[in-house]
Structure 1
């Protein structure tokens, strides 16, 4: 990145934070020709607040990067309204309806899969562009004409995990009893079950705090591979229980690499895990990564920064095609390929899956000193989910 571009990026981010950091009532009014309004409904609070914070930081950096530091499309300023859904679909739907009622043609966000699945139908009903964020449920791919995603989906995680199975035939999926968990169970069943493995699952209540009984169930099943899909603040207790009950030492355990703050939660068992990674700092190095790195606090990127960055790039591209016509925005995004933090990303035209590279990794060290190292890269085509039928 050149010095002039760094200066522009920093200036744009300073202005962005000063004018668009609040939530609740919009800044400006939809339909004002001096601005283009974008509503971001995401987890500012709640169990996925740390994911939401990374997404928001990435979005701000991506908007500055995609607009060359101006924050504008032509002579119109992109005005972003930030609204907290706290991970609650009811709050998210209410916020989305409020923004749509005020004339917003572009929505983004959805940290939670459950939220994304509820907001997507509103986009189709009201013909507004919706670019979902970190929500990983496969159900958002092909949800409708107006729904896109800026992150990966569960199927891509599972395709990355497939390489770890080897000659094993017995797979257990350990996941919360939620939209996110069910999406992972479905994806593992389709991918690994389709390859000849026998797949069973252990659905854990999302409110669980004692994981010892569930760890015992895994041991009793004696699988060749355990696929763990987990997110949120209880991850540390869950991993401790699996390690103490001998699950990590007794079988091959594959899981996604969560945000850096969670790595200490792996405890002594972290080095025993086979990790699939949507992203971690240092997995790639390119101009988009350098721009993001220069913009985020502390200069260290994390798991969901790229989702926000890519969302802003997609929205800018759509708005450049038409700042007011959602159908033209959709047409512009279908088949769109662009260079982003993770590398080259492509919006598959037929179902709006976001094709992207995925990573395999190992952890070394423990606690705050833990370091992730890439052990392999699954290219975008190899990690591509099967095409979904567009629902509307």
Structure 2
């Protein structure tokens, strides 16, 4: 899906400004920090709200990543890394308010954004105030290339769709339906599926349900009546269980080729007897990558009582990027330069921050679920190389 490497957000998103005298000039490092003061990092994520489970995984990964990247010191060149976390509850307005407060109190690096709707609001705040922003699990393609100050530590929707396309022998002439929610995440998936598969000759339609809808039977019935060659399911949040039950009850999973992203481990039992009827693309699951970094992440997360899951690597990678940026000094432009084009060993293997638009190039996975009930677990089918699913660089 072509996009410029430095897109301009709609005016409604660009009106978010910071007017706090405590900040001084944009990009300026507060005097109290100085060259020997703490490196102040603000993490704004969903500690509560509908994406709280994802947010918890992200933050556990972030803490483990800081420990790993600093060799357990939580310092960089003798300077402590001071982390302040704030809960946005998945609300863009709360996220913007938190970002303002953090910048106003001298935080020159921001991380977080579990929600795509949050990420697209925080990104312009970072740019206007010339601070670094490393977005997290938010998958919207709109974050890649949005401005010079914004990076991402997770995958993006385009990479999901390119991975989904690897399940099709030939999309030419196929009818594809996207089953998703009416949200930034859902619409982004519709746009990405359309861009990727229509270019290959498929016809793409969509069925979108309100995010707060609890009765999903009518939408499952629409999917059954559409009878596509491929149903791509893009769903996030607490209603996933009800959604899969609805598709199963209406016979969609048995009659249609269904591809979806593998969600968190708590969702595995939901698929039940239908798991063999579903193809899974995976951003990550514990055991997907057999790397030293993945082992180090697991060890640290489990020592603190956590469990590695879908978005744990996003937090871990964010911490690696924060430490890399901060190692360049206090100048934001120098921090940006340190990240652009950086190739490093991450949880999933070799990762690259593409200099042109800050896309994070990374492998993805095909997976299957085995076992039943509480014993259901994913197994790796194939690792999809980063270059095979890389989003196009904007012209």
Alignment-derived partner of residue 46 in structure 2: 43
Distance in 2 (CA, whole Å) between partners of 1:345 and 1:366 is 34
SS in 2 for 1:374: strand
Alignment-derived partner of residue 145 in structure 1: 148
How far is 1:299 from its partner? 6.8
Contact 2:60/2:306 (<8 A) preserved: no
Contact 1:252/1:273 (<8 A) preserved: yes
Aligned mate of 2:388, from 382, 386, 390: 382
Contact 1:42/1:84 (<8 A) preserved: yes
How far is 1:266 from its partner? 2.1
Q: Is 1:187 equivalent to 2:192 in the alignment?
A: yes
Aligned mate of 2:161, from 154, 158, 161: 158
Which residues in structure 2 correspond to 1:334-349 (within 5 Å)?
A: 334-349=340-355
Distance in 2 (CA, whole Å) between partners of 1:266 and 1:260 is 11
Which residues in structure 2 correspond to 1:352-367 (within 5 Å)?
A: 352-367=358-373
Q: Relative to structure 2, which stretch is displaced further, 231-240 or 97-106?
A: 97-106
Structure 1 stretches (4+) deviating beyond 3 angstroms?
A: 297-300
Contact 1:271/1:365 (<8 A) preserved: no
Which residues in structure 2 correspond to 1:164-203 (within 5 Å)?
A: 164-168=167-171, 169-203=174-208
Q: Is 1:371 equivalent to 2:377 in the alignment?
A: yes
How far is 1:383 from its partner? 1.2
Which residues in structure 2 correspond to 1:1-392 (within 5 Å)?
A: 31=33, 33-168=36-171, 169-297=174-302, 300-322=307-329, 324-388=330-394
Distance in 2 (CA, whole Å) between partners of 1:175 and 1:29 is 48
Aligned residue pairs total 361
Distance in 2 (CA, whole Å) between partners of 1:38 and 1:206 is 32
How far is 1:131 from its partner? 0.1
Distance in 2 (CA, whole Å) between partners of 1:295 and 1:269 is 34
Distance in 1 (CA, whole Å) between partners of 2:272 and 2:121 is 36
Change (3 A) 1:84 1:186: same
How far is 1:30 from its partner? 6.2
Distance in 1 (CA, whole Å) between partners of 2:267 and 2:50 is 13
Deviations 1:331-369 (A, max 9, x none): 110000110111111000000000000000000122210
SS in 2 for 1:362: strand
Contact 1:89/1:115 (<8 A) preserved: yes
For structure 2, the 5+ residue unaligned runs are 1-29
For structure 1, the 5+ residue unaligned runs are 1-27
How far is 1:271 from its partner? 2.4
How far is 1:225 from its partner? 0.2
How far is 1:116 from its partner? 0.2
Distance in 1 (CA, whole Å) between partners of 2:394 and 2:92 is 24
How far is 1:300 from its partner? 4.2
Change (3 A) 1:164 1:202: same
Contact 1:361/1:372 (<8 A) preserved: yes
Q: Report the TM-score when normalising by structure 1.
A: 0.90
Q: Report the TM-score when normalising by structure 2.
A: 0.89
Contact 1:146/1:330 (<8 A) preserved: yes
Alignment-derived partner of residue 4 in structure 1: none
Change (3 A) 1:94 1:364: same
Deviations 1:51-78 (A, max 9, x none): 1111111111111111111111101000
Alignment-derived partner of residue 18 in structure 1: none
SS in 1 for 2:207: strand
Give the alignment's Cα RMSD to 1 decimal.
1.4
Distance in 2 (CA, whole Å) between partners of 1:43 and 1:71 is 23
Distance in 1 (CA, whole Å) between partners of 2:118 and 2:270 is 26
How far is 1:203 from its partner? 1.1
Distance in 2 (CA, whole Å) between partners of 1:61 and 1:273 is 33
Contact 1:29/1:37 (<8 A) preserved: no
